A and B are shown apart, each in its own frame.
Chain A
């Protein structure tokens, strides 16, 4: 009962919060503009001196346009947005928790009568729903964009099977869910938004990449085993399990280090760690 009450309160706050819609709207706008409109324009009207067609075995611009058509939209959405879209999900997670500390509303909430953990679970459920909505909207926007481009180019408007779309949405939900939980956990740890977003972005853009490069330079099976447990790498494994939209002619697909099942397991572990860790912090710490 307390959990449902907390969920209802959180959901109402989320729906009414402009920053949430700005964040989601910005992601969708980028999905249309960068993911489809700009790519289509450049592939259709390559700038003078563009060298893409000159590389031996490289796909031509016309071949590249395949990724913009409906048949590829699930792969395209997952491959293009697993990290960049994840950053938006990270911000959603930070906003959900960090702002409570910034506004001091954490003490207002904690003097209502649901327990702190019930409140946190209610908040996490509302965040999960927000992330799912974001993913569904992203897929809808990408599907719509790919459909329009196929119509313009006179290509097939056939979409992948519904089950593949559903799997894609579920995978993206887990990937974005990981990012949101990461942001939520950082905001809880630092009790503020700025530090959480800063560190989250630093990890997304730099830290894991540097660590993986260092490990790769060492090489060996043990290193490969370690690499398989990094979270962003696993978002990549999961996205790649849907296939890449296009690759160089005659080149075999690059097999990810781990399969989808492994990636799902690792990401679920990370989500659980962030949520449980946040619950422990929220339960134990004083509100000063």
Chain B
């Protein structure tokens, strides 16, 4: 079945007056119902991209369709809830009143404010001024404001920024919860573990270019089987017979096999029957951090 594209960019680029190319010929596709992680080191162009998708900044070249319309058009924004960087609200208004102002702007009934505050567990502090909120509460109010329109697409830019570990976990769970069903979530982050836990598909951006896109499993590649056995030459013969010689490599004195992991016990039996002593037999897969470092040439976001 053909997946419906909710965000689609074609050759999207942003070049600033000082010659800095923040986003370079970006091709991005986000499908309906997925939680898409937009991953990249600080300064890679994530926020600039999201701002272009929201119409806050205009691309230098290229185009985009967001929720079926041009970025920043009333038709597009009506279907999008967003937090861009730090959630910004009126400090002299309460959380409830801030949402009321936004409800006025969006033309949504005030009856949606209560459930949105409930969903982010902010109801007990709803009448307190925004200026008194902790960072976690500000982020949650940002999510509540994004949910107010009951949007089909949520765009969240670094939603766990500035949160303590508990706050990050709460925010993660909240995003997983609101990303269920038909709603699409596009979330940018430089934190690999949070993307790994929340996202069904990711795109990696580096120096303004999309360097990889796919499911996390796709990007990690297939899991491998690590075998440490002696004598090595006899073990190699057995393993090459089982997996095919192109699929057997040696790393740090151990064999690394590209093989269906369901055959692990069979491989173990064949090694033992051939008189090989197996000292280690385990599966191994690349972590997302390894993939990220490989793609971006950085130390990851952690």
Does A115 contact B107, Cβ atoms closer than 8 Å?
A: no
Q: Roughly how many angstroms separate A2 CA and B88 CA in the complex, as a whole number?
A: 22
Determine, out of A49-57, A101-109, A220-228, the stretch whose residues face the partner at the interface: A101-109
A1-38, CB under 8 A of B: which get 1 and which 0?
11001101100110011110000000000000000000
Residues from chain B with Cβ under 8 Å of A119 in the complex? 105
Q: Does A114 contact B (CB under 8 A)?
A: yes
Does A16 contact B97, Cβ atoms closer than 8 Å?
A: yes
Cβ 8 A contact of B106, one of A105, A110, A112 = A112
Does B57 contact A286, Cβ atoms closer than 8 Å?
A: yes
Given A5-B107, A9-B102, A286-B58, A111-B88 contact (CB < 8 Å)? no
Give the nearest-CB partner of A108 in chain B. B88
Residues of A within 8 A of B (CB): 1-2, 5-6, 8-9, 12-13, 16-19, 103-105, 107-115, 119, 286-288
Q: Offer 29 A-B interface pairs, CB within 8 angstroms, sorted by A.
A: A2-B107, A5-B107, A9-B102, A9-B105, A12-B97, A12-B101, A13-B101, A16-B92, A17-B92, A19-B92, A103-B90, A103-B91, A104-B88, A107-B56, A107-B88, A108-B89, A109-B105, A110-B54, A110-B55, A111-B80, A112-B102, A113-B149, A114-B105, A286-B56, A286-B57, A286-B58, A287-B51, A288-B56, A288-B57
Q: Roughly how many angstroms separate A286 CA and B86 CA in the complex, as a whole number?
A: 18
Give the nearest-CB partner of B130 in chain A. A103
- Residues in B65-103 with C-beta less than 8 Å from chain A: 72, 74-75, 77-78, 80, 82, 84, 86-93, 97, 100-102
Of A1, A2, A17, A105, most buried by chain B (CB within 10 Å of CB) is A105
Does A115 contact B74, Cβ atoms closer than 8 Å?
A: yes
Give the nearest-CB partner of B14 in chain A. A286
Q: Roughly how many angstroms separate A45 CA and B57 CA in the complex, as a whole number?
A: 64
Residues from chain B with Cβ under 8 Å of A111 in the complex? 54, 56, 77, 80, 82, 84
Q: Roughly how many angstroms separate A109 CA and B149 CA in the complex, as a whole number?
A: 13
**Chain B interface size range:** 20 to 34
Residues of B within 8 A of A (CB): 51, 54-58, 72, 74-75, 77-78, 80, 82, 84, 86-93, 97, 100-102, 104-107, 145, 149
Give the nearest-CB partner of B91 in chain A. A103
Does B100 contact A113, Cβ atoms closer than 8 Å?
A: no
Cβ 8 A contact of B105, one of A6, A16, A18, A288 = A6
Residues from chain A with Cβ under 8 Å of B55 in the complex? 110
Does B104 contact A9, Cβ atoms closer than 8 Å?
A: yes
Q: Roughly how many angstroms separate A113 CA and B81 CA in the complex, as a whole number?
A: 10
In addition to A12-B104, A110-B54, A111-B82, 5 A-B residue pairs with Cβ atoms within 8 Å of each other are A12-B97, A105-B88, A109-B105, A286-B51, A288-B57
Residues from chain B with Cβ under 8 Å of A1 in the complex? 107
Residues from chain A with Cβ under 8 Å of B54 in the complex? 110-111
A112 to chain B: closest CB distance in Å?
A: 4
Residues from chain B with Cβ under 8 Å of A105 in the complex? 88-90
A8 to chain B: closest CB distance in Å?
A: 4
Residues from chain B with Cβ under 8 Å of A13 in the complex? 90, 93, 101
Does B105 contact A287, Cβ atoms closer than 8 Å?
A: no
B34 to chain A: closest CB distance in Å?
A: 21
Does A113 contact B78, Cβ atoms closer than 8 Å?
A: yes
B232 to chain A: closest CB distance in Å?
A: 59
Q: Roughly how many angstroms separate A192 CA and B269 CA in the complex, as a whole number?
A: 74
Of B86, B89, B90, B93, most buried by chain A (CB within 10 Å of CB) is B90
Residues from chain B with Cβ under 8 Å of A287 in the complex? 51, 56-57
Given A9-B102, A16-B93, A2-B145 contact (CB < 8 Å)? no
Residues from chain A with Cβ under 8 Å of B58 in the complex? 286
